[in-house]
Amino acid sequence: MTRVLVTGASGMLGRGVAERLVADGHDVRTLQRSPSRVAGVQDVAGSVTDPDTVRSAVRDREAVVHLAAKVTITGPFAQFEEVNVGGTRLLLDEARAAGVGPFVHVSSPSVAHQGRSLTGAGAGPADPEHARGHYARTKAAAELLALAAHEPDGLRVIVVRPHVVWGPGDTQLVGRIVDRARAGRLPVLGDGAALIDTTYIDNAVDALVAALHADAAVYGEPYVVTNGEPRPVVELLAGICAASGVPMPRRHVPAVLARGAGSLLDAAWRTLPLPGEPPLTRFVAEQLSTAHWFDQRRTREALGWTPRVGLDEGLARLATWTARQASATAP
């Protein structure tokens, strides 16, 4: 049994990791701003930016899985920096002081994405200067902090970058696709042929747990995690829409036009008091119109991990979950 702290356990991936660790018999404490709703954990309510809260959460822990982050599409850069960079720095400092060994830092492939296609790519170095958007830039800076803190005989840091995680109940990718499709605002950018790899939620959870228990020799490096099943973006969108019972995208918008519109909308939301999220951002337009899939051989060898839920099975599970939700809410 290992005493583990999981931050960000109110999110889909963090909750899944905490649940898996409890099921495996570990002593799990969670830290997040809202309740994790995970049975069998010690919940600590608070922010990773608060020194007293972080110190209390890390006390007596042997390992940390750090998922807490500001992941919204919009917001002032300072807010992203405070949580993603400042929170990571504080957690690393307190973890080192508490004698933590394994520290799994959850990052994103966007930290090394500069808007160009990535085909069969490796992890690549995090690049805060050229990463796209506030989230990616601050996550890149946080990843560099985490790797710099790695000590083979002390705080051992491994970085895992799950790519486009989705599954039943997902409010980030699936939720946004469903909302836009239902409102008739889900176009295909370009010809929709760009290959995109994704990660089904159970596979992402498995990978993070595997990283926690991986050989110390593979620590100190970043690893991208995906299903290893790149599909054309139009096929992926259609599959999620079909499984969720919403209209499939049929309208095509030129990629160049979408990126330009995304830049204008980014500027509008930065300068005007506009509510909610913009209908499109430059980052999202780039993600939906360029290829991004990754060579998984290094990751699978290092973590001793392979995906157990294929993309098609994941879509079938999403369809089953959607049907159950509809049945439960039917009059």
**Residues involved in catalysis:** 135
**What is the maximum alpha-carbon separation in the chain?**
60
Give the DSSP letter of residue 217: G
25 C-beta neighbours (distance < 10 Å), count: 9
Q: Look at residues 305, 303, 17 and name the one whose alpha carbon lies nearest to residue 158.
A: 303
69 C-beta neighbours (distance < 10 Å), count: 23
Render the burial of 264-297: b for 16+ CB within 10 Å, e for the rest. Answer: ebbeebeeeeeeeebebbbbbbbbbbbbbbbebe
Give SS3 for 327: helix
Give the DSSP letter of residue 204: H
Q: What are the E-state strand segments in 148-270?
A: 156-162, 165-166, 188-189, 195-196, 199-200, 222-225, 231-232, 252-253
Distance CA 304, CA 312 (A): 23
Q: What are the E-state strand segments in 153-312?
A: 156-162, 165-166, 188-189, 195-196, 199-200, 222-225, 231-232, 252-253, 292-294
